[in-house]
């Protein structure tokens, strides 16, 4: 009987595993892939994400320091940098492998190349079944990411307006040419897909290029990606990888009596910018904090996990969704302002840098929208509840 079984060795599972090991919980982590494994991602690892981990990341993992962004919309574009770092760009196979090793060094048991297939909750424990065996634990954290199915034993499947479809590839290039294109900022293109964007992120000897948009409106992502690549002169043969990304800020059930969802499985991704690594790490840690308090002191229940997540970052995710819906409902107003007014982008950069919340950014932004448009936006909010449903949580 384990205290805890964690499914998934991504940032969320690894962060949970490391804390569980350090806390002395008898823990098993099960990962279906052999690491290092490929993970489709832009690879922006934010300062906020870094702030959650209790060890230094070696310099070789940081490919580029990012200070700002260039954003485009229908021919307009603007570029802005901060005098502090906002994120670094990493290759996910390398970062995730390092994080998993940091979990392993705490002494937890890790089985890779083994896939969890189902679980059954009993009054006192959970039975977990894999393609190689069966295990028992007092608690389970499902950190299986956006594409796993086990989470549907806890919550209903996301509707098509509750997740994005992304296509990503890596375009090899000399560093010299990458520096000429964009050196220490990310390049973002709005107007490619509803509730999403296209991106070109500069890495070490490659660009991460991708497009993502809300599943309900993104009818032909592959074509959008090929058009996007061609538009930017990327005409080689590339392996295109698809992946889902949950929209954060939507109410989802994230616990049962003995099972917790963390990271993407819980839907914890910024709906506007697509950042998920920070929330994956932190939610994995919160899950372990709550579980170890129950196991060691017999206090609390897993519903504490919901309330801590809500108070630490739930509101930020909710307002990322509001900003996303606002911007994409009135693209010609907001994206035009976003890509032509330096101050608007400059202020926004404080959000991914964790120096400002989405709520305070929206409060700052709205009075700067011309009164006529503001009236139209408010009308739409009041009449259709278009911006945020009255449902309860992330
Ligand atoms: C195209 C794209 C670009 C993105 N860009 C960024 C970015 O630049 N910055 C950022 O912060 N976020 C980004 N994100 C979001 C980020 O990738 C996720 O939020 C983050 O990876 C979530 O971590 P996780 O540990 O919850 O899940 P994952 O990283 O997906 O890890 C889940 C792990 O569980 C394993 N697993 C799944 N099912 C099972 C099973 N049944 N049994 C055993 N193991 C299983 C998987 O193999 C995987 O290793 C991006 C997402 C996409 C799709």
- For the CA of 262, the closest atom of ligand 1 is 26
Are 2 and 136 within 8 A, CB to CB?
yes
Ligand 1 centre from 42 Cα, in Å?
A: 11
- For the CA of 8, the closest atom of ligand 1 is 34
Q: In what order do the strands lie in the sheet with 185-190?
A: 76-81, 68-73, 185-190, 197-202, 206-214, 163-172, 241-246
Ligand 1 centre from 145 Cα, in Å?
A: 5
Mutate-to-test residue for ligand 1 from 5, 9, 10, 88, highest number of ligand atoms within 8 A of CB: 10
* pTM (two decimals): 0.95
- For the CA of 279, the closest atom of ligand 1 is 19
User: Closest Cα to atom 19, ligand 1: which residue?
Assistant: 276
Q: How far apart are CA 347 and CA 344, in angstroms?
A: 5
Q: What angle do CA 308, 310, 311 make, to 5 degrees?
A: 65
Q: CB 358: neighbour CB atoms within 10 A?
A: 24
Per-residue pLDDT of the chain (394 residues; tens, 9 = 90+): 999 999 999 999 999 999 999 999 999 999 999 999 999 999 999 999 999 999 999 999 999 999 999 999 998 899 999 999 999 999 999 999 999 999 999 999 999 999 999 999 999 999 999 999 999 999 999 999 999 999 999 999 999 999 999 999 999 999 999 999 999 999 999 999 878 999 999 999 999 999 999 999 898 999 999 999 999 999 999 999 999 999 999 989 999 999 999 999 999 999 999 999 999 999 999 999 999 999 999 888 999 999 999 999 999 999 999 999 988 888 888 898 889 889 999 999 999 999 999 999 999 998 887 776 777 677 666 655 544 443 333 3
**H and E: helices and strands count for the chain:** 12, 17
Q: What is the pLDDT of residue 392?
A: 38
Ligand 1 centre from 201 Cα, in Å?
A: 18
Ligand 1 centre from 281 Cα, in Å?
A: 11
Ligand 1 centre from 146 Cα, in Å?
A: 6
Are 12 and 262 within 8 A, CB to CB?
yes
Q: Is the preceding peptide bond at 36 cis, omega within 30 degrees of 0? A: yes
């Amino acid at each position: 009987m384990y205290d805890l079984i964690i499914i998934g060795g991504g940032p969320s599972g690894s962060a949970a595993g490391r804390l569980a090991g350090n806390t002395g919980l008898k823990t098993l982590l099960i990962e279906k892939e052999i690491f290092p494994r490929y993970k489709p991602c832009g690879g922006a690892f934010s300062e906020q994400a870094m702030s959650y981990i209790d060890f230094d990341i070696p310099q070789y993992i940081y490919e580029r320091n990012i200070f700002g962004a260039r954003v485009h919309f229908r021919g307009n574009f603007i570029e802005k940098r901060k005098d502090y770092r906002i994120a670094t760009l990493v290759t996910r196979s390398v970062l995730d492998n390092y994080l998993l090793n940091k979990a392993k060094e705490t002494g937890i048991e890790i089985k890779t190349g083994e896939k969890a297939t189902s679980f059954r909750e009993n009054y006192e424990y959970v039975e977990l079944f894999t393609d190689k065996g069966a295990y028992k634990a007092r608690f389970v954290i499902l950190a299986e990411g956006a594409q796993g199915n086990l989470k549907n034993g806890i919550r209903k499947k996301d509707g098509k307006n509750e997740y994005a479809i992304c296509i990503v590839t890596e375009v090899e290039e000399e560093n010299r040419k990458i520096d000429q294109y964009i050196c220490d900022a990310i390049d973002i293109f709005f107007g490619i897909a509803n509730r999403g964007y296209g991106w070109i992120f500069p890495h070490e000897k490659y660009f991460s290029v991708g497009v993502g948009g809300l599943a309900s409106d993104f009818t032909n992502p592959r074509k959008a990606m090929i058009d996007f690549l061609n538009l930017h002169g990327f005409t080689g043969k590339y392996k295109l990888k698809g992946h889902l990304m949950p929209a954060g800020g939507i109410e989802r059930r994230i616990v049962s009596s003995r099972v917790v969802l963390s990271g993407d499985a819980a839907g914890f991704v910024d709906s506007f910018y697509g950042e998920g690594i920070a929330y994956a790490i932190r939610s994995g840690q919160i899950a372990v904090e709550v579980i170890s308090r129950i196991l060691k002191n017999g206090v609390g229940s897993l519903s504490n996990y919901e309330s801590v997540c809500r108070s630490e970052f739930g509101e930020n995710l909710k307002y990322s969704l509001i900003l996303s819906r606002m911007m994409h409902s009135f693209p010609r107003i907001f994206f035009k302002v976003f890509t032509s007014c330096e101050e608007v982008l400059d202020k926004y950069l404080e959000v991914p840098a964790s120096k400002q919340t989405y709520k305070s950014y929206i409060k700052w932004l709205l009075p700067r929208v011309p009164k006529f448009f503001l009236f139209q936006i408010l009308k739409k909010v009041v009449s259709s509840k278009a911006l945020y449903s009255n449902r309860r949580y992330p």
